[in-house]
C-alpha cells in the first residue's frame, strides 16, 4: 500500500479515436490482451506487437460505445501505432482520427475520500470502468484503472483542451491532493518498475522482457506476434529481465545490461538473464 497520495500530469500522453464497427475486432487481432468483448465505458490495457513480438506500443483502450474507442498512446510511439493499425486495415470498418487537444492527469494512492466527496459517483465506479463528468463547464472521462505495473490509479482524460486540464489541477489541489513533479515521478516510476515509452517500451524488447505478462491473455485467439510470445513463455526462452539497481552499483564491466532510465540515484536496467 502506498504511503502517499498525489496526482501527476502525463504530458506525453497522446490520443486517437478509432471509429467503426470493426475497431475492437481489428485491435484484438493486433494486440496481446482480449479486448473483443470489452463493454461500453470500460478500460483495458493491451500491447500491440509486431511479427517478432517486439513492442510497437502499450496502450489503454477506452471503449466509448460500439462505434468508438479512445486509444491512449504516447508521443513516442503514436505515429508507429497509427501506421501499424492502418497496415492491417483492409476492408474493415475502422478509421483512425488523431486528437491533439486531449490531456491526461492521474491520481495515485489510497487516500481517496476527499476525491469521492468531490465526485460522489466515482466511489461506486468499479475498477476497469469509467464515467463521463462535467465540472465547471468542462468535460472529462474519469476511470478507475492502473499503471503499467498494476498500481491502481484514477485517470482523468481532459476533453476540452489545456483549460480543462488547468481547471482540473486546481480542483485537485483544492481538495488537498498535491502534484508530484516530473522529476519526482520519474524517481517513483523507476523505484516501482513502471516501464515508459521511449525508454523501456521500445521495439528492442518484447512484453515478457519487461515483465508485462499480466497484459497478455494467453488463452485468446490469434494475434500478430502470438506464436513468438507463446514459444518464449512455454519453453522459458525469455532472454531479458527488467530490474531496478542503484546508480552507485552500476559497473562498466556489467555484461549484457542496458540502463534505460535513471533518476535520484536509482536506475532501471534491462539485463540478459544469463548474466544476472
Q: Counting every residue, how long is the chain?
A: 276
Dihedral through CA 153, CA 195, CA 229, CA 42, nearest 10? 20
* Residue 234 Cα to chain centre, angstroms: 26
> What number does CATH give the domain 1-180?
3.30.1360.120
Per-residue model confidence as pLDDT tens for the chain (276 residues): 688 999 999 999 999 999 999 999 999 999 999 999 999 999 999 999 999 999 999 999 999 999 999 999 999 999 999 999 999 999 999 999 999 999 999 999 999 999 999 999 999 999 999 999 999 999 999 999 999 999 999 999 999 999 999 999 999 999 999 999 999 999 999 999 999 999 999 999 999 999 999 999 999 989 999 999 999 999 999 999 999 999 999 887 788 999 999 999 999 999 999 988
Give the count of beta carbons closer than 10 Å to the beta carbon of residue 127: 11
Q: What is the pLDDT of residue 253?
A: 75
Q: Which helix (H) or strand (E) holds 183?
A: helix 182-191
Q: CA 166, 167, 169, 174 torsion: positive or negative?
A: positive
| Whole-angstrom distance, CA of residue 123 vs CA of residue 115 | 9
Q: What is the pLDDT of residue 1?
A: 66
The per-residue DSSP string of 42-80 comes to EEEEEEEE-TT--EEEEEEEEEEETTEEEEEEETTTHHH
Q: Which residues, in sequence order, are CB contacts of 219 under 8 Å at separation 6+?
A: none
Q: What is the pTM of this model?
A: 0.97
* Strand 178-179 versus strand 55-65 pairing type: unpaired
- Which residue reads 481538495 in cell numbers? 175
How does 144-175 read in b/e, with b if 16+ C-beta sit within 10 Å?
Answer: bbbbbeeeebbbbbbbbeeebbebbbebbeee
Domain with CATH 3.30.1360.120 in the chain: 1-180
Amino acid at each position: 500500500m502506498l504511503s502517499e497520495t498525489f496526482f501527476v500530469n502525463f504530458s506525453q500522453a497522446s490520443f486517437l479515436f478509432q471509429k467503426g464497427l470493426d475497431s475492437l475486432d481489428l485491435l484484438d487481432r493486433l494486440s496481446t490482451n482480449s479486448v473483443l468483448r470489452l463493454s461500453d465505458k470500460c478500460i483495458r490495457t493491451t500491447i500491440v506487437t509486431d511479427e517478432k513480438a517486439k513492442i510497437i506500443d502499450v496502450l489503454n483502450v477506452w471503449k466509448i460505445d460500439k462505434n468508438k474507442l479512445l486509444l491512449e498512446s504516447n508521443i513516442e510511439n503514436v505515429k508507429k501505432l497509427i501506421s501499424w493499425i492502418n497496415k492491417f486495415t483492409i476492408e474493415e470498418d475502422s478509421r483512425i482520427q488523431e486528437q491533439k487537444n486531449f490531456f491526461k492527469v492521474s491520481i495515485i494512492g489510497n487516500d481517496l475520500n476527499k476525491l469521492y466527496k468531490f465526485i460522489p459517483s466515482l466511489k461506486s465506479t468499479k475498477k476497469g470502468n469509467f464515467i463521463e463528468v462535467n465540472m465547471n463547464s468542462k468535460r472529462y472521462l474519469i476511470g478507475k484503472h492502473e499503471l503499467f505495473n498494476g498500481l491502481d490509479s484514477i485517470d482523468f482524460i481532459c476533453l476540452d483542451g489545456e483549460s480543462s486540464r488547468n481547471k482540473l489541477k486546481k480542483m485537485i489541489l483544492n481538495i488537498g491532493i498535491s502534484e508530484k513533479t516530473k522529476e519526482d515521478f520519474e524517481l517513483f516510476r523507476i523505484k516501482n518498475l513502471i516501464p515508459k515509452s521511449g525508454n523501456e517500451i521500445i521495439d528492442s524488447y518484447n512484453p515478457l522482457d519487461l515483465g508485462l505478462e499480466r497484459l497478455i491473455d494467453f488463452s485468446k485467439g490469434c494475434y500478430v506476434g502470438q506464436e513468438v510470445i507463446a514459444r518464449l513463455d512455454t519453453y522459458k526462452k525469455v532472454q531479458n529481465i527488467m530490474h531496478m539497481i542503484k546508480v552507485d552499483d552500476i559497473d562498466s564491466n556489467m555484461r549484457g545490461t542496458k540502463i534505460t532510465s535513471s533518476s535520484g540515484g536509482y536506475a532501471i536496467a534491462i539485463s540478459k538473464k544469463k548474466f544476472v
